[in-house]
Structure 1
Amino acid sequence: MTHTTPTTSVPPGAPDDTGGSSKSDATDNRPRRRAPGPGRLLTIVLAGQLMAVLDVFIVNVAAPALSTDLHASGAGLQLVVAGYTISYAVLLITGARLGALIGHRQAFLAGLTVFTAASLACGLAPGTGALIAFRFIQGAGAAVMLPQVLSLIQRTFTGASRARALGAYSAVLASGAAVGQVLGGALVQADLFGTGWRPVFLVNVPIGLALLALGPRWLGGTEERPAAGAGGGAARRSGALDLTGLLLLAVAVLLFTVPLVLGQQRGWPLWGWVMLGLSAVLAAAFAAYEARLAGRGGAPLISPRVAGAPGMPLAIARIVLGMAANGGFLFVMTLHVQGGLGYSALRAGCTFAPTAVAFGLVGLNWQRFPSRWHPVTVPAGFVLAAVSFVGVGMALRDGSDGGAWLFVALVGVGMGLAFAYSPVLTRTLATVRPQDAADASGVLVTSAQLGLLCGVAVFGAVFLGHGPGVDASADALWVSCLALAGAALCGAIVGLVIRVRYLR
């Protein structure tokens, strides 16, 4: 498989890396411009990714303070939390295609700009309505920025360095969930200058500005462009934006996410089930349209060769199940430790530190295991996660703080989910051609996001079906942990099911 490495353009009048110059050595004494190292590129894109992923979860522990300060209704508070997630999920694949159209570096910096500005607006929002609107905009910026991370990694790294970069990517992506809880709790507890919940958004501003200052240099120069001559028109057509497909997909995802986000609070009304049914119809219409467009030689939003690439259906199923378990676990644990056990925001956030550290360490180092172990890492990870979910439920079932056994179980959850997620991402993207990186990144990250939404909705509904009080909360957590264990076991066996179907 051939990989391309982005090149760095040489500004007019500056010497190039081969020693040539548009001016003589006597008249041009400016220092040569070095191409940025791949390590700097990885630092920039992963820092941007971490900010975006944190904001999916960082608001959870700030919700009580936010509700008190803004007098937000239940529906308003739900939209503050979910508005970011909805626009993020709806626009992710579009963001990936925009990167292919205008350039991944340019799209990353544009998304980072929108995200940083919206974070400032969220932190200064005067009321619930404004905050909801700014959260939607913040999610849109993240949707443009995040798909470029995988694309830039795919196009910059090769071989073992590519695998290490993808390991760092997957560790940051899913660890951000737990890190967001910890950071959010610390910022709310600190109540900096009496600002309460606002620093959970404002913290992004100095980081975003620093990345925007370093980005143009550390991300390199211009990317390869289609040639103006033969083949250039075809290349340009492949980057065209499929507006019909975009509309079908956006509406389908919106119809899917809104009921999942609001259904529990509204008692799962009929309109929610109707929207879920319509989302399935539109998803089928989208798939049929994309197949016809590809058959006519057009440029579909999601290339059928990417969606049907070897290992992609299995990867999507496992990522959805793994992220559903991850998102659902963090959600119900937050509800239990803050509502049932009465933990402060900081203590609630720090409860997830063992899970975050374990996930990050495994995500970065799983490839160091003997290669003969690699084929079983994913199903073994799901099994370990299932056992650990049961362990968490048992440790907290009596209404106590769980003690040392809870710590062990939380570490097991992080390790299990990391083994279940990181190898899937790395192996799947290793089979994708660099020119398909944008589509693949959009599909996989959208799958992860929809998995998180499903996990919060499904396991949140299980937890919230019980009454108030410590004992009821502990019982609810126990039942939720059993359901989470069942989802993890499904992740362990889904590979066997799909492989049997392919063999027939």
Structure 2
Amino acid sequence: MLIAMFMAVLDVAVVNVALPTIHNELHATGAGLQLSVSGYTITYAVLIVTGARLGDLWGHGRMFRAGLALFTAASLACGLAPDIGGLIAFRGLQGVGAAAMVPQVLSIIQRTFSGPARMRATSMYTAVIAGGAAVGQVVGGLLVSANLFGSTWRPAFLVNVPIGLAALVISGRVLPKDRGEPGRGLDPVGVAVLTPTVLAFVVPLVLGHDEHWPLWGWLLLAASALGVAAFVTVERRLERRRGTPIIPGRTLALPGFALSIGLMFLVMAVMTGMFFALTLHLQGALGFSALDAGLAGAPAAGAIFVVSMRWRRLPARWYPWLVVAGLVVVALSSFALAGVLHGGTTGGLARWILQAVNGAGLGLAYSPLLGVMLSRIPVSDAADASGVISTTAQVSQVVGIATFGTLFLNLLAQAHLHASAHAVSAVLVVAGAIALLGALLAIRLSRVR
């Protein structure tokens, strides 16, 4: 399950370093390139909660395999796409497959494992989510630079095909044969309100900068706020009638769940925003190749993975404070990295060390946060919580790239020496300040029982 999920998480970032090559080969416009990235992100973010509930309704193993099959087939189609229009369409199908597949992973973990085995499984789950964005940059750089058989960017998608087929065969043998809970219901009204609400929020963030923040974007953002209010009203009314809302109030009322979701959103937004701005700076201003830019993320990716797999060895009473400590480390290392890059140099060994420290802080903040949150979720609420967690992880990445990317590009437009260095330093300082704010909020986790 985690191998399949890793492909879905990876595909958010793996394409970024391939964009220059796609632009050259498919003669794509800027809008086309943006849609080739965001087509996946938008459909994935919009449909995750619905995918989680369909798993409850039809069976998590069955839904996982259906999503994996669609994701694998769409990856093949992306790798063979003859033009940018086809690539955009197939990226959307990839997002549909990921939205059907990913929410089932947490539900199956919660229903299959218990005690220490569940904690080990959730540690691996958090390592995949936290490290996927960083590893995506590395894998994308390696695949594009390898230029296998002269195929340039296409292996970034085709690599999913043999892995997906193998996972599909194995999953048929090892996943539990659940048949779902037909009595749960799909909550069509909730889906009908939530889907356009998420769409109205995500689309302006994804396309806003390239379109120079048009009026329609601001109107959609305002409409998304109204959509949230309408969704809350619909769900509360359904719950009072003893129906099955797509996000039950009892899930959000679990001890520390709402606070943990907020912190998770913050950590993921900071992480993806920093990685995005650093990649733009390294490739745009410092002339790094796709391979070099991808490998630049290796220290952070490695540190995130190691910390995500090892934090459980510490005493359980420390877990809430690990989140606080991790966010403080992220803040301090971001400030230091801003100072190293401000002068327009590559930063040398100091940049590598600080990126590793930064990654360790991100892993320390994210993994215990998600691990503690998952340990408090009853099995009966696993699917609903999985939908909320998966949606948060996806939307936070969109928000991180949109906000930090916009800040970087606006500062980059200023005509002065080392504009890119100043821009990336400003992004890192803002990220560090947000991490410090998160550390203050995370102190409240120690009081949750």
Query: Which of 488, 491, 494 is matched with 2:441 structurally?
Result: 494
1:371 to partner: Cα distance: 3.4
Whether contact under 8 Å (2:204, 2:221) holds in the other structure is yes
Report Cα offsets for 1:63-93 as digits up to 9, x if no partner: 1001111111111110101110100000001
- In the alignment, what sits opposite 2:145? 189
Unpaired stretches in structure 1, ≥5 consecutive residues = 1-44, 226-234
Q: In the alignment, which residue of structure 1 is the partner of 2:160? A: 204
Alpha carbons 1:332, 1:460 under 8 Å: kept: yes
Q: 3-state DSSP class of the match of 2:196?
A: helix
**Aligned mates of 1:98, 1:150 — CA distance in 2:** 14
Cα 1:278–1:371, aligned 2, differ >3 Å: closer, same or farther? same
Deviations 1:355-410 (A, max 9, x none): 00100011111111233432311111111101111122122111111112111210
Rounded Cα–Cα distance in structure 1 between residues aligned with 2:442 and 2:227: 27
In 2, Cα distance between the equivalents of 1:109 and 1:446? 20
Within 5 Å, which residues of 2 pair with 1:103-502? 103-220=59-176, 222-223=177-178, 236-238=182-184, 240-465=185-410, 466-467=412-413, 471-496=418-443
Question: Cα distance, 1:498 vs. partner?
Answer: 8.7
- Cα contact 2:110–2:382 (8 A) shared by 1: yes
Deviation digits for residues 135-189 of structure 1 (CA, Å, limit 9, x no counterpart): 0110110010000110111111111111111011000112011111111101110
Q: Would the aligned equivalents of 2:141 and 2:290 in 1 still touch at CA under 8 Å?
A: yes
TM-score normalized with structure 1 length: 0.86
CA distance in 2, matches of 1:253, 1:181: 26
Instruction: Map Cα deviations across residues 435-467 of structure 1 (whole Å, 9 max, x no partner).
Output: 110000110111111111111011001100123
User: In proportion to residue count, which structure has more helix?
Assistant: 2
Task: Kindly name which structure, 1 or 2, has the bigger radius of gyration based on alpha carbons.
Answer: 1
Call closer, same or farther: CA 1:128–1:435 in 2, change over 3 Å.
same
Query: Secondary structure of 1:62's match?
Result: helix
Q: Using the alignment, how far apart are the partners of 2:372 and 2:34 within structure 1?
A: 36
Q: Distance in 1 between matches of 2:314 and 2:151?
A: 46
Q: Which runs of 5+ in 2 are unaligned?
A: none
Matches of 1:224 and 1:73 in 2, distance apart? 46
Residue deviations 1:208-252, cap 9 Å, x none?
1111111111224x2266xxxxxxxxx5322x1111101111100
For 2:113, the aligned partner's letter is F
Q: Is the 8 A contact 2:15 2:37 kept in 1?
A: yes
RMSD: 1.7
In structure 2, how many angstroms separate the alpha carbons of the residues matched to 1:498 and 1:426? 13
Indicate conservation of the 8 Å contact 1:237/1:298, yes or no: no
* Conservation of the 8 A alpha-carbon contact between 2:53 and 2:383: yes
Q: Do the aligned partners of residues 123 and 356 (structure 1) sit closer, same or farther apart at CA in structure 2, a change above 3 Å counting?
A: same
Percent pairwise identity:
50
CA separation in 2, counterparts of 1:47 and 1:318?
26
Supply the AA of the counterpart residue of 1:354: P
Equivalent-residue separation in structure 2 for 1:470 and 1:149 (angstroms) = 48
Q: Which moved more, 1:401-410 or 1:47-56?
A: 401-410
The answer as to 2:22 corresponding to 1:66 is yes
Contact 2:300 2:355 (8 Å CA) reproduced = yes
- The 1-side partners of 2:395 and 2:266 are apart by 10
Paired residue type of 2:326: G
- Structure-2 residue corresponding to 1:40: none
Number of residue pairs the alignment of both structures matches: 447
For 2:205, the aligned partner's letter is L
Q: Distance in 1 between matches of 2:151 and 2:83?
A: 14
Q: Is the 8 A contact 1:116 1:205 kept in 2?
A: yes
Q: How does 1:28-107 map to 2 (within 5 A)?
A: 45-107=1-63
**Aligned equivalents of 1:269, 1:392: Cα separation in 2:** 34
* CA pair 447-382 structure 1, distance change in 2 beyond 3 A: same
Whether the aligned pair in 1 keeps the contact of 2:319 and 2:372 (CA below 8 Å) is: no
Structure 1 runs (4+) greater than 4 angstroms displaced: 496-500
